[in-house]
């Protein structure tokens, strides 16, 4: 079983919905990945992320897709790219990552409750 956390710990994690504006293959990455530019609207604005999602996604098909991401982790340098948010996904039976997002369109910047 996982370690338990308090509800207060959970509320510190800021998970928001954003819309992918731009996506391209991250050719310099050690593991296959896609660079994403995501609009979270409001005070957050546009942020970048690197995601190992090549098993299920082509960069051109990601434009306009809404995804969930943690927006309050510190930025992380991944090779020559600075990843500013952690896009959320779940592994399929083969280990390929499927992105997490809303079932239907919602306003960008909405916070997970």
Q: For residues 69 and 87, what is the distance between their CA atoms, to the nearest angstrom?
A: 4
Q: Is residue 8 included in any domain, yes or no?
A: no
Q: Is the pLDDT of residue 1 over 90?
A: no
33 and 83 in contact (C-beta within 8 Å)?
no
Q: pLDDT of 2-37, one tens digit each?
A: 789 999 999 999 999 999 999 999 999 999 999 999
Would the pTM count as exceeding 0.85? yes
104 and 55 in contact (C-beta within 8 Å)?
no
Non-local CB neighbours of 34 within 8 Å, separated by 6+ positions: 23, 24, 25, 26, 50, 51, 53, 54, 57, 59, 62
Q: pLDDT of 79-91, one tens digit each?
A: 999 999 999 999 9
CATH of the domain at 25: 2.40.50.140
Q: Is residue 89 included in any domain, yes or no?
A: yes
Number of domains in the chain: 1
| Closest listed residue to residue 85, CA positions, set 113, 56, 52, 46 | 46
Q: Is residue 2 included in any domain, yes or no?
A: no
Q: Structural domain of residue 65, as residue ranges?
A: 14-99
Q: Is residue 9 included in any domain, yes or no?
A: no
């Amino acid at each position: 079983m996982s370690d338990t956390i308090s509800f207060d710990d959970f509320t510190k994690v800021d998970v928001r919905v954003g819309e992918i504006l731009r996506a391209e293959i991250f050719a310099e990455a050690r593991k296959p990945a896609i660079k994403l530019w995501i609009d979270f609207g409001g005070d957050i604005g546009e942020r970048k992320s690197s995601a190992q999602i090549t098993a299920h996604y082509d960069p051109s098909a990601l434009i306009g897709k809404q995804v969930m991401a943690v927006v309050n982790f510190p930025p992380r340098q991944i090779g020559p790219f600075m990843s500013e948010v952690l896009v959320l996904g779940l592994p399929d039976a083969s280990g390929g990552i499927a992105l997490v997002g809303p079932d239907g369109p919602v306003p960008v910047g909405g916070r997970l409750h």
